[in-house]
């Protein structure tokens, strides 16, 4: 599927639809926690951002345009090839690496912001992954993690709706049993030494065919922001 990353009508169409909403959340959280003015041309200048599971670069590229020094890491070499080519075509200087988060940690790398979107539900050990995110942050750094809640509604939306009915994703992309509740994710974050500061839902409106952020509805997709102590 890697070659289809930048086709808004292709296999990643649902992610393209979601991307502006999740990007708005990420950008708002970074600007708020680091007291940055989003109205400036490059407000994230000087920030080192790691995008774990970067895929084709849908989040990495806009963060780079905002001035951040971005490293995109993905374990799938096909994704990195596509992301690197697209960034080059866009004139963006992004460090794309076909590596795991654990290997970056072993190299002693640290970042101001770690972004891990729609990946924690796929890893073998979510708690260990969150610990790695913590360790990759400099003191005072921030992690933004998004995933799927384990509810009846999420089974209907993400499995039955997205995979079986709409066929937006191949069957078996998600395992509902591996979805993580907001309280579980907060607990893992606290256990890793992170301090959760925000939890926000991302809600799909089938009538308007659009996504929006919601402080109340975390029943399907949601994001958590957490800080490493200074």
Confidence grade of residue 9 (pLDDT, cut at 50, 70, 90): confident
Q: What's the pTM value of the predicted model, to 2 decimals?
A: 0.91
Give the start-to-end residue ranges of the domains of the chain: 1-228
Tokens of 116: 């891990």
Instruction: Identify the architecture of domain 1-228 in CATH.
Output: 3-Layer(aba) Sandwich (3.40)
**Terminal CA-to-CA distance of the chain, rounded, Å?**
40
Q: Could you tell me which residues are annotated as the binding site for S-adenosyl-L-methionine?
A: 22, 53, 74, 117
pLDDT at 55: 93
Alpha helix positions (H), the chain: 13-33, 60-65, 77-89, 101-106, 126-135, 152-154, 182-191
Q: Could you tell me which residues are annotated as the binding site?
A: 22, 53, 74, 117
What is the arithmetic mean of pLDDT over 79-94? 96
Residue-wise pLDDT for 132-167, tens only, equals: 999 999 999 999 999 999 998 876 666 655 555 455
Shortest CA distance to 82 belongs to which of 58, 120, 56, 54?
56
């Amino acid at each position: 599927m890697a070659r289809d990353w930048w086709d808004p009508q292709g296999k990643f169409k649902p992610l393209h639809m979601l991307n502006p909403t999740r990007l708005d959340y990420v950008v708002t959280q970074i600007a708020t926690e680091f007291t940055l003015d989003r109205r400036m041309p490059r407000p994230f200048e000087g920030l080192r951002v790691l995008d774990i599971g970067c895929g084709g670069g849908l989040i990495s590229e806009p963060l780079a345009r905002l001035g951040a020094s971005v490293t995109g890491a993905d374990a799938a070499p096909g994704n990195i090839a596509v992301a690197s080519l697209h960034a080059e075509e866009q004139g963006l200087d992004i460090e794309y690496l076909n590596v795991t988060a654990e290997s970056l940690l072993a190299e002693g790398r640290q970042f101001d912001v770690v972004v891990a979107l729609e990946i924690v539900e796929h890893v073998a050990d979510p708690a260990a992954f969150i610990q790695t995110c913590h360790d990759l942050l400099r003191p005072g750094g921030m992690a933004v993690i998004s995933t799927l809640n384990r509810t009846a509604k999420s089974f209907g939306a993400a499995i039955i709706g997205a995979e079986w009915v709409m066929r937006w994703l191949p069957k078996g992309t998600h395992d509902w049993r591996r979805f993580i509740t907001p309280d579980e994710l907060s607990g893992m974050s606290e256990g890793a030494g992170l301090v959760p500061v925000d939890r926000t839902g991302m809600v799909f409106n089938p009538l308007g065919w659009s996504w929006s952020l919601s402080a109340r509805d975390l029943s399907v997709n949601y994001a958590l922001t957490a800080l490493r102590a200074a």
